[in-house]
Amino acid sequence: MRAAWRAKRDAFLRKIGARPLVMGILNITPDSFSDGGRFEDLDAAVAQARRMVADGCDIVDVGGESTRPGATPLPARDELARVEPVLETLGGTLDAPVSIDTYKAEVAARAIELGAILVNDVWGLQKDAAIAGVIAERGAAVVVMHNRVEKDAALDILADIRQFFDRALERATKAGIPPERIILDPGIAFAKTSQQNRDVIARLGELADYRLPIMIGASRKAFLGGMSDGAEASLTGTIAVNLAAAANGVSIFRVHDVAEHVTALRVFHTVKAGAPERS
């Protein structure tokens, strides 16, 4: 990793915990559940990245393969064909760091070469055996997300998440990824029932003993529709869940609607910190 990108990585990691951080979603895909096809064009993707940074996001997460349920897996070469032009354009010019949303070692390696400072792995180092080594060798940070092949309503979902994280962290340690570069994500809406998604939000505090930052990605997801009379993609519902997560210790929020979340989380943080005493 180049020195300039290491500096961006370290600056981003230092901000974690000082205030809530926002990760802006940039899907370079035709089939993502919410914004598929909107940013396939290079100019549109770059403009959206710059718009999110102007709106206050702390990092832009670039993804070339949809991870929605039922999506067709994409070969690494096709994923790279989607993300390389965007990363080449943004890597040295964007006023914010860039992350890559991938579980493939080949894609992660190339993305880091092009300036990605973080790998957002939706399979938590457990899909591609080589990815932990790539992340360690090239100095990137990582988001370890909980995932499953299929739902199981009988599970204690927090117990399953902990078992998954324990395996992932063992792999990270063996590969040489330092703890200060690891972020955990409980994987909202990934192979979980609506009730399990709600349970995760309510019980996020149980993950505090890992002493690692927690990220959450609940933006526009279907389970939100079951908690209100509004549409599942409700911005109001997403903000409400993210504020509940913030109250339970979450540090980073992966969202589509950056400006609204920056404002809501700033207000939350200000209120939580308390007004300064008057002399």
**Any idea what the CATH number is for the domain that residue 111 is in?**
3.20.20.20
* CB-neighbour burial class of residue 274 (10 A; exposed 0-12, middle 13-18, buried 19+): exposed
Strand partners for 99: 61, 118
Helix, strand, coil % in the chain, rounded to nearest 5: 45, 15, 40
Q: How far is CA 211 from CA 118, 177, 205, 249, in A?
A: 19, 15, 11, 11
Q: What is the per-residue pLDDT for 278?
A: 47
d(CA 134, CA 144): 14
Q: What is the per-residue pLDDT for 209?
A: 97
Closest CA to 239 of 269, 207, 272, 262: 262
Is 29 inside any structural domain?
yes
Mean pLDDT of successive 10-residue stretches along the chain, which has 279 residues = 93 96 92 53 91 97 83 88 94 91 97 97 97 98 96 97 98 98 96 94 96 94 62 76 95 96 96 67
Q: What is the per-residue pLDDT for 224?
A: 75
Range of the domain at 48: 3-273
Output the six-digit token pair for 250: 């979450």
Closest CA to 101 of 12, 215, 21: 215
Is 278 inside any structural domain?
no
Residue recorded with tokens 């990585």: 9
* Helix 42-54 with 76-90: angle, nearest 10 deg: 50
Active site residues: 221, 254
Output the six-digit token pair for 114: 């092009």
Give me the number of domains the chain comprises.
1
Strand partners for 61: 25, 99
Q: What is the per-residue pLDDT for 221?
A: 74
Count Cβ atoms below 10 Å from residue 37 Cβ, excluding itself.
12
Contact (Cβ atoms closer than 8 angstroms) between residue 238 and residue 232: no
Closest CA to 129 of 108, 111, 112, 114: 108
d(CA 59, CA 39): 17
Q: What is the per-residue pLDDT for 107?
A: 98
* Helix 131-138 with 157-175: angle, nearest 10 deg: 50
Is 90 inside any structural domain?
yes
Is 256 inside any structural domain?
yes
Is 279 inside any structural domain?
no
Please enumerate in sequence order all residues whose Cβ is within 8 A of that of 119, keeping only pairs 6 or more positions apart, or say none: 99, 100, 102, 108, 111, 112, 131, 134, 135, 140, 141, 142, 143
**pTM given for the model:** 0.91
Contact (Cβ atoms closer than 8 angstroms) between residue 120 and residue 100: yes
**H helical segments located in 144-257:** 157-175, 194-202, 235-247
Contact (Cβ atoms closer than 8 angstroms) between residue 201 and residue 194: no
Is 196 inside any structural domain?
yes
Is 131 inside any structural domain?
yes
